[in-house]
Amino acid sequence: MYTDRTPVGRTPPADRRGNRVAVLGSPVGRSLSPTLHRAAYAAMRLRWDYETIDCDASALPALFDSLGDDWAGLCLTTPLKRAVLPLVDEVSDLALDVGGADTVVLRDGRSFGDHCGVHGIVAALRQAGLGAPGSAVVLGGGVAACAALAALREVGVREPVVVVRERGHARETEAAAGRLGVSVDLHRFEELGRLLRGVAVVVSTLPAGAADALAPTVARSGAAVLDAACSAWPTRLAKAAGFVGGTVVHGLSPLLHRAERQIELLTGLTDVPVAAMRAAAHAELVRRAGLSAGPAVSGGQFV
């Protein structure tokens, strides 16, 4: 198990038992969560540690049991979001509906699981002027797609179209839709072209590169695009949509606002320094890409 620890800032608020947080997953090395959280804690002058821990589902129970009072919480990546549910003392209704928790808060000897990624998507859509899109297509059928359905429900889309490579990949999405009270129209990739007519926004929850073949079809539709594959930004999907003048929501935006909500839950503070977090994450993405700072997508409205 690999652990990377970097201390920042000063002492946490007195009413919090712990000041250690970690992002867990396998692999987890390219997660932007450490960059976002460390930037926030530094700007907030909190002496908190944010770690990266490589951990798969089989190792999660033992790790969870080993956490002491110095821990404030955990951030979880797929597939741990589902695996953590039976380990926590309390789970939010939203996390139960989505089918996973991406955040665990540890306090007073108890644990609470929530899903902050939904807030991240909602905030990203609203920031891009897509707070009431009316219609949407979701690409992908995993836990991330379940979160997208919950977010779209929050902005008024209760009958989204879900497009997957194989229908069998969408079982958990269909189950989550039922819990969320959302009616999904399920289709395969081959049908995407006709499904995009008149659609306001396409939310891609596919891994980096998985939506490349769909990029020309999506771009021709003129729909706004939110591509969550931030690690490979700009994705071919984002570049294609931007090239034809479409609105492109940066994949960093939902991650940024997810981290904002996580920090609120973990620290109990609400004045989260989003601008400092955005600047740090952008610099990290530029560093990884070996580029000079500047716009990654041209031609469209890049938000």
Write the DSSP assignment of 127-147 as a string of letters. HTT-SS-S-EEEE--SHHHHH
- Which tokens sit at 65? 């049991």
How far is Cα 76 from Cα 82, in angstroms, rounded to an integer?
9
The alpha-carbon radius of gyration of the chain (Å, integer) is: 19
Degrees to nearest 5, angle at CA 38 with 35 and 41? 150
How far is Cα 199 from Cα 295, in angstroms, rounded to an integer?
26
Name 242's Cβ contacts closer than 8 Å, sequence gap at least 6.
234, 248, 297, 298, 299, 300, 302
Check residue 62 and report its DSSP letter: H
Check residue 81 and report its DSSP letter: H
- Asked if residues 21 and 71 have their Cβ atoms less than 8 Å apart, the reply is yes
Which of 81, 107, 239, 258 is the catalytic position? 81
* Type and span of the H or E element at 8: strand 3-8
Indicate if 81 belongs to the active site: yes
Q: Which residues are designated catalytic?
A: 81
